[in-house]
Structure 1
Amino acid sequence: MSTVADTNIPQLETLKIDLAGKVATVTLNRPDKANAMNWAMWQDIRSAMQWADRTPEARVVVLQGEGKHFTSGIDLQMMMGLQAQIKDDCDGRSREKLRQLVLELQDTLSSIERCRKPVLAAIHGGCVGGGVDLISCTDMRYCSADAYFTIKEIDIGMVADVGTLQRLPKLIGNQGIVREMAFTGRKVLADEAQRIGLVNQVFDSREALYAGVRELAELVAAKSPLSIRGTKEMLNYTRDHSVADGLNYIATWNAAMLMSGDLMTAMMANMSKQTPEFKD
């Protein structure tokens, strides 16, 4: 059931967006194509993340998939059409067009990281190829017991190029496992995904997955939105910088943001043993 921001929710070709109780649910919606990521879906993902970022009422985003699978990855018809899309009499210009296209796809997924709100992935069934790139950008990942993950690009004769090889080693922290997945394209089942740290938790069923992730999302949504946004900013920055750089940045951030209305609200609520209510 959507709420106050109904009129602001974009109507997208390949995604469904719902907003209820401060939690936005973004659903990949090409079930007849196993949610294969065609060109429209890449653009829609960026649009959805930009909408979530600028919509105060959306404090947390849950990303899920309609149908049998979370996503089968990049649409092969889209891949087959690339040649016509980059065609040019000049080979150098053709290569430049291809590079720009790859950068465009990378930017789509990076929009998930740029979104100031936490994004939780709820994964069921297959999460294949580009799907691994997609979830690698999210803040937390959860799956049902039937889920599996595979870096499928190796099986179509290409190098994964939109984020998996850059982000997954930092998520899992085990170069050997990441390289094994990337070199073999083998399936990683749900229990192994949890063991290696790819997902936080495995739920028995899809229904339990959605209920559990919703509960977690609502827990996050109840916290100070300003503090949640700052925490995501710090975690993303620190991942890619030294400890010293991260400490310097948080000192500057809190010099600007610490003395907020949220701080006073939280302190007063704690003193009176009440639940704080924060401004969006």
Structure 2
Amino acid sequence: MSAAPSPTSAAEGPWTCFDVTIEEYVAHIRLNRPEAYNSMIRDFWNELPVIVRDINDNARARCIVISSTGKHFSAGMDLAVFGGGGSSAGEGGADRFITAEGQRHHVRWLQDCFSCLDQARMPVLVAIQGGCIGGAVDMTSACDIRYATEDAFFCVQEINIGMTADVGTFPRLCKLIPEGWVRELAYTGRRLPAGKAKEIGLVNEVFPTQEALLDHVMATAREIAEKSPLAVTGSKVMINYARDHTIADGLDYIAVWQTGMFAGSHMGEAFKAKAEKRPADFPDLKPLRNAM
């Protein structure tokens, strides 16, 4: 395996809501406000997409891990953020329809803050302990793979405060778990415990402690980082495309992708490394041209 990228990058902060480290090709983004249950204040929404896009655009890692601190993964969106795009009642006598149009753009901006996880070129793994509430469900549903502790639970909290979840929960959950479960969680605001979340496919595995959880997630991330970055990103692109299109469209797109990006030399290195019982040495993805 070629030398890992420098651990020093813009992604590593300092940040108000996160700690970020990049080691062994794995970027670890950790929510760091346990005293406030890692609620999503304004800084959270401003910082997360900058961190993820820096890692993505500059190819600073081959896999991203998101974890948290304290008793709960996240209590969700801080109520002060709801005022960021105006209120449905209008502000200062403003026309309510004009205000609503501005609010739509504010919601779209919030959605994009999590869509960057889905759109990242590298897989995003998330380790969830305790409560994963409201906006945290939106966030974790945008990740590639979810793991949890036995005490973890998921809650579509929005219905309990008189609103409809709008930052990504429903479009993504409906692709991850049976629709009946989405409807029950959405209509009732009940907690979905980790064991049931695993049973219905929302999380891949459940662990007795946060330490065991993180050990497994980081080991999985390092295993992914040992694979060909081009093959991994191609797999993510194809899985996302298949999720959003018909089977026929997916088959056609993978054929086009392979025509342009099938890397025989990467395959040869994989076979050679296996025969020689050593880690394979794959080239990293290149930084995007629009990256600084």
With normalisation by structure 1, the TM-score equals 0.94
Query: Of residues 200, 204, 213 in structure 2, which corresponds to 1:200?
Result: 204
The answer for the alignment partner of 1:42 in structure 2 is 45
The answer for the alignment partner of 2:187 in structure 1 is 183
Query: Of residues 192, 217, 223 in structure 1, which corresponds to 2:221?
Result: 217
Q: Is the 8 A contact 1:23 1:60 kept in 2?
A: yes
Query: Can you list the C-alpha shifts for 1:73-132, whole angstroms capped at 9, x where unaligned?
Result: 010122256547973622221111110000000111111011111000100010001000
Is the partner of 1:116 in helix, strand or coil?
coil
Equivalent-residue separation in structure 2 for 1:175 and 1:189 (angstroms)? 17
Q: CA deviation at 1:271?
A: 4.2
Is the partner of 1:141 in helix, strand or coil?
strand
* Amino acid of the structure 1 residue aligned with 2:226: A
* Amino acid of the structure 2 residue aligned with 1:17: V
Q: Is the 8 A contact 1:52 1:117 kept in 2?
A: no
* Amino acid of the structure 2 residue aligned with 1:236: N
* Amino acid of the structure 2 residue aligned with 1:93: I
The answer for the alignment partner of 2:242 in structure 1 is 238
The answer for the alignment partner of 1:151 in structure 2 is 156
Output the aligned Cα RMSD: 1.9
Q: CA deviation at 1:40?
A: 1.5
Equivalent-residue separation in structure 1 for 2:30 and 2:278 (angstroms)? 34
Q: Percent identity?
A: 40
Equivalent-residue separation in structure 1 for 2:97 and 2:81 (angstroms)? 22
Q: Is the 8 A contact 1:36 1:71 kept in 2?
A: yes
* Amino acid of the structure 2 residue aligned with 1:29: N
* Amino acid of the structure 2 residue aligned with 1:97: G
Q: Which moved more, 1:226-235 or 1:44-53?
A: 44-53
Q: Is the 8 A contact 1:119 1:140 kept in 2?
A: yes
Equivalent-residue separation in structure 2 for 1:205 and 1:259 (angstroms)? 41
Query: Of residues 31, 40, 44 in structure 2, which corresponds to 1:28?
Result: 31
Equivalent-residue separation in structure 2 for 1:76 and 1:168 (angstroms)? 23
Is the partner of 1:6 in helix, strand or coil?
coil
Equivalent-residue separation in structure 2 for 1:178 and 1:240 (angstroms)? 18
Equivalent-residue separation in structure 1 for 2:146 and 2:211 (angstroms)? 16
Q: Is the 8 A contact 1:119 1:138 kept in 2?
A: yes
Correspondences of 1:66-215 after superposition (within 5 Å) = 66-79=69-82, 83=86, 87=91, 89-172=94-177, 174-215=178-219
Is the partner of 1:202 in helix, strand or coil?
strand
Query: Of residues 250, 254, 258 in structure 1, which corresponds to 2:254?
Result: 250
Is the partner of 2:27 in helix, strand or coil?
strand
Is the partner of 1:9 in helix, strand or coil?
helix
Equivalent-residue separation in structure 1 for 2:270 and 2:86 (angstroms)? 56
The answer for the alignment partner of 1:6 in structure 2 is 8
Equivalent-residue separation in structure 1 for 2:162 and 2:247 (angstroms)? 38
Equivalent-residue separation in structure 2 for 1:143 and 1:189 (angstroms)? 10
Equivalent-residue separation in structure 1 for 2:5 and 2:207 (angstroms)? 28
Query: Of residues 264, 275, 279 in structure 1, which corresponds to 2:268?
Result: 264
* Amino acid of the structure 2 residue aligned with 1:24: A
Q: Which moved more, 1:243-252 or 1:43-52?
A: 43-52
Q: Is the 8 A contact 2:73 2:128 kept in 1?
A: yes
Equivalent-residue separation in structure 2 for 1:221 and 1:111 (angstroms)? 20
Question: Can you give the 5+ residue segments of structure 1 that lack an aligned partner in the other structure?
Answer: none
Q: Is the alpha carbon distance of 1:175 and 1:84 closer, same or farther for their aligned partners in structure 2, counting shifts above 3 Å? A: closer
Q: CA deviation at 1:3?
A: 7.4
Q: Which moved more, 1:72-81 or 1:238-247?
A: 72-81
Equivalent-residue separation in structure 2 for 1:216 and 1:31 (angstroms)? 25
Q: CA deviation at 1:8?
A: 3.6
* Amino acid of the structure 2 residue aligned with 1:39: R
Equivalent-residue separation in structure 2 for 1:274 and 1:18 (angstroms)? 26
Would you say how many aligned residue pairs link Structure 1 and Structure 2?
A: 278
Equivalent-residue separation in structure 1 for 2:186 and 2:133 (angstroms)? 12
Q: Is the 8 A contact 1:125 1:147 kept in 2?
A: yes
Equivalent-residue separation in structure 2 for 1:180 and 1:198 (angstroms)? 15
Question: Can you give the 5+ residue segments of structure 2 that lack an aligned partner in the other structure?
Answer: 285-292
Equivalent-residue separation in structure 2 for 1:99 and 1:242 (angstroms)? 29
